[in-house]
Amino acid sequence: MPYLYHTRNLPYAPSLLHCIRKQFPVHPPSEALCYLLSTPDDNLWNYALPNGADIQKGVDFLTPYLLDKSTWPYAKDVTHFDAFPVRMPFMLFAGNLLKRPELVQLYESLPFETADEEARRNAAIRMPYLWF
C-alpha cells in the first residue's frame, strides 16, 4: 500500500476514493479515464507500469473491504466511517470491465443517495450507467 492511507486518521474513505492510485498513481477518477480512453486495441484496464502497478491491483486490494467493511484491518476513520461505502463509479466500471460481478452487485445494492454530505461529495460521477 504505497500511499499509506491506513496510517491517517481517515484511512477507509480515502482508500475508497483513491483505491486505484494505491497501485496505479494517476489522478482520480482514473477508472473513468480508463473507460473513456480505452480502445479495443489499447485497453487501459490491462495497462501496467514498469514496476508492475496496475488498476486491477488497486481494485483487488479494496474489494474484500468493500464487500465486508468489518474486515478492514486498519483504524476506523474518525469521521464518516459509517457513511461508506457508497455507490462509487469504479465499482461499476471495474465490475463490468474486469468481469467482477460482485462489484456490480455491491454497487446496485447501495442506496442511490446518501444523507452524508462528505460521502456524496466523494462520488462525483453520479450516473455511470449513462457511460455504457
Question: Tens digit of pLDDT for each residue in 12-23?
Answer: 666 665 554 444
**Average confidence (pLDDT) over 53-78:** 85
Report which of residues 13 and 66 the model is more confident about. 66
Helical H segments across 55-124, by residue range: 55-67, 89-97, 101-109, 117-121
User: What is the pLDDT at residue 74?
Assistant: 83
| pLDDT bucket at 58, cuts 50 / 70 / 90 | confident
Cβ partners under 8 Å of residue 130, min gap 6: none
| pLDDT bucket at 87, cuts 50 / 70 / 90 | confident
Cβ partners under 8 Å of residue 27, min gap 6: 21
- Residue corresponding to grid cell 514498469: 50
pTM over 0.95: no
